[in-house]
């Protein structure tokens, strides 16, 4: 049975890169099913690429192959690899931090460097191309793996899991009077912000549904938000344009402006410069 290919990139649909990449897949095997996760990862943002894989990978059938191409180091010595996860998936990607979250939360069982002498597209008219590995390397190798032309072992040589490049992932901290975390990512369409605070830790810290919680946000240690806001399980329970706390689709705590855009209206973002603190009072 052929495996599905699920793609995420920072290419957008503004020009022909996605079409060329998908065309290579179909040229290898026209029966391979291609699914688009997103082509709107922020440019060069390997942290977001890593987080988005973690967000959705575990909802797909086991054996699905994910192709993640956010590759600011394309054409350099960074490894091109295929990782096999402990929960039953394959990820075809540059080894540049994009495996961080999947490795932490699901585990990487094995990783192999793509053998470009076998598993790279070679054509007379593009032999010198070094800037489109999404098409010539990742898409092509993924198609060969999905179609059964090659086995996982034939991707290329294995290398140590310890050598995988990883971003630092900060953990939330629980104290007697508060819980502290950071904004890991946003929901770009609605402007919500997702923290690294697990719902289980939030509840363990003693916060309760319906409670108005003293919430402070700091950017580079400067306070940029300070208010008492409610914790609800549904956006419909809060007034329009009010700010609320909720647990998101992967059971981490988020902040939202109901029928608004928290990021835009409050000029907030995500990353390690942001700290969010929920206080008991």
- Residue-wise pLDDT tens digits, 18-48: 999 999 999 999 999 999 999 999 999 999 9
Which pLDDT value is given to residue 133?
82
The ranges of the chain annotated as CATH 3.40.50.10790 are 5-163
Q: Residue for token digits 């705590």?
A: 253
Domain 173-279 has CATH 3.40.50.2300: no
- The DSSP 8-state label assigned to residue 211 in this structure reads -
Which pLDDT value is given to residue 132?
76
The ranges of the chain annotated as CATH 2.40.30.90 are 173-279
The SS3 of residue 14 is coil
Nearest-angstrom CA–CA distance, 268 and 192? 10
Q: Residue for token digits 């192959």?
A: 65
Nearest-angstrom CA–CA distance, 131 and 74? 6
Q: Residue for token digits 């901290």?
A: 173
Tallying the residues shown for the chain, one arrives at: 281
Which pLDDT value is given to residue 193?
98
Domain 5-163 has CATH 3.90.180.10: no
The string over 48-64, giving b where at least 16 C-beta atoms fall within 10 Å of a residue's C-beta and e elsewhere, is bbbbbbbbebbebeeeb
The SS3 of residue 53 is helix
Which pLDDT value is given to residue 127?
56
Which pLDDT value is given to residue 215?
98
Which pLDDT value is given to residue 103?
98
Cα 117 off chain centre by: 29
CB atoms < 10 A from the CB of 111, how many?
Answer: 23
Nearest-angstrom CA–CA distance, 60 and 42? 23
Nearest-angstrom CA–CA distance, 72 and 48? 13
pLDDT under 50 in the chain at which residues? none
From its phi and psi, is residue 254 left (phi > 0), alpha (psi between -120 and 50) or beta? beta
Q: Sign of the C-alpha dihedral, residues 53, 59, 62, 65?
A: negative
Which pLDDT value is given to residue 227?
97
Could you please report the per-residue DSSP string of 146-203?
HHTSS-GGGS--EE-GGGS-----PPPEE-SSEEEEEEEEEETTTTEEEEEEEHHHHH
Cα 152 off chain centre by: 23
């Amino acid at each position: 049975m052929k495996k599905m290919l699920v793609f995420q990139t920072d290419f957008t649909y503004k020009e022909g890169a996605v079409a060329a990449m998908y065309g290579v897949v179909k040229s290898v095997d026209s029966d391979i099913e291609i699914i688009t996760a997103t082509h709107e990862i922020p440019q060069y943002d390997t942290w977001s690429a890593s987080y988005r894989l973690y967000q959705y990978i575990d909802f797909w059938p086991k054996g699905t192959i994910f192709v993640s191409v956010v590759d600011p180091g394309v054409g350099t010595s960074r490894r091109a690899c295929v990782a096999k996860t402990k929960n039953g998936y394959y990820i075809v990607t540059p080894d540049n931090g994009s495996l961080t979250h999947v490795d932490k939360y699901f585990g990487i069982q094995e990783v192999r460097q793509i053998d470009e002498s076998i598993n790279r597209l070679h054509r007379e008219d593009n032999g010198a191309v070094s800037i489109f590995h999404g098409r010539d390397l990742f898409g092509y190798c993924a198609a060969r793996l999905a179609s059964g032309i090659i086995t996982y072992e034939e991707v290329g040589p294995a290398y140590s899991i310890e050598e995988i490049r990883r971003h630092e992932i900060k953990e939330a901290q629980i104290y007697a009077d508060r819980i502290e975390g950071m904004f890991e990512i946003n929901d770009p369409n609605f402007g919500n912000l997702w923290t690294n605070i697990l719902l289980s830790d939030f509840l363990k810290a003693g916060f309760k549904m319906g409670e108005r919680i003293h919430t402070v946000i700091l950017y580079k240690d400067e306070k940029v938000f300070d208010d008492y806001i409610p914790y609800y399980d549904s956006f419909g329970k809060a007034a329009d344009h009010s700010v609320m706390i909720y647990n998101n689709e992967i059971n981490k705590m988020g902040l939202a402006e109901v029928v608004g855009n928290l990021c835009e209206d409050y000029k907030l973002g995500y990353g390690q410069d942001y700290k969010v603190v929920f206080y008991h009072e």
